[in-house]
Chain A
Amino acid sequence: GAGVSQSPSNKVTEKGKDVELRCDPISGHTALYWYRQRLGQGLEFLIYFQGNSAPDKSGLPSDRFSAERTGESVSTLTIQRTQQEDSAVYLCASSPRGTIYYEQYFGPGTRLTVT
């Protein structure tokens, strides 16, 4: 079946502009995660959605970052007033239920370059 998809695959933007990244989870997966991977570093957790519960935003690095998800469907990650340090690959993952036992399935990522 279809996996997690993300768009765009690549995005180049100028410093100070806003960007929106999109994630389509696997159908039926209630949990959705956003991670960031900067060059030479491990993946960093950003935000977690589980159904209609309040999201876990503990990983968002600043108030320029926000994310939305309607129900159990698409999610968008928005970065306002982008900075060069925001350049990274942004990865989305989903899992059938947000418990400890379920694997996370990752999308191909969006490579963001801020010039």
Chain B
Amino acid sequence: KQEVTQIPAALSVPEGENLVLNCSFTDSAIYNLQWFRQDPGKGLTSLLLIQSSQREQTSGRLNASLDKSSGRSTLYIAASQPGDSATYLCAVRPSGGATNKLIFGTGTLLAVQP
């Protein structure tokens, strides 16, 4: 059974700092991995989608890497800003069985202090 874990559960950093969020999954048989941010009352916003054949994806100050064989992904946020404060979720799409659902981690709550 696929399980997704995110460490740390919460993180507080001063503005301007670079930071890394971690995501691990137990079964490497995935089609892709997706990072989301969740703001209170606003649902989920997709940040980056990495296909299983890719190593990383970049969007602005965000860079996500994927090491499928070791079951790990990281989300790197450069020069953090208070507006980055949110819960960050990673999710994998398994390649075996039902391929049409995402398996989510429990998230990392990020607070960027001004």
Cβ of B5 to closest chain A Cβ, rounded Å: 10
Asked if A50 and B43 make an inter-chain contact with CB atoms under 8 angstroms apart, the answer reads no
- Judge if A65 is at the interface, Cβ distance under 8 Å: no
Please choose the segment from A12-20, A68-76, A79-87, A102-110 that sits at the chain B interface, where 4 or more of its residues have CB less than 8 A away. Answer: A102-110
With both beta carbons as reference points, the residue of chain B lying nearest to A46 in the complex is identified as: B101
Interface residues on B, range: 20 to 34
Q: Is the CB of B89 within 8 A of A58?
A: no
Q: Does B58 contact A (CB under 8 A)?
A: no
Contact between A56 and B101 (Cβ–Cβ < 8 Å)?
Answer: yes
A40 at interface, CB cutoff 8 A: yes
Of all chain B residues, the one with the shortest Cβ separation from A31 is B100
Residue pair B89, A9 in contact (C-beta under 8 Å):
no
Q: Is the CB of A45 within 8 A of B42?
A: no
Specify the chain A residue showing the minimal Cβ separation from B41: A108
- Is B44 at the interface (CB under 8 A from chain A)? yes
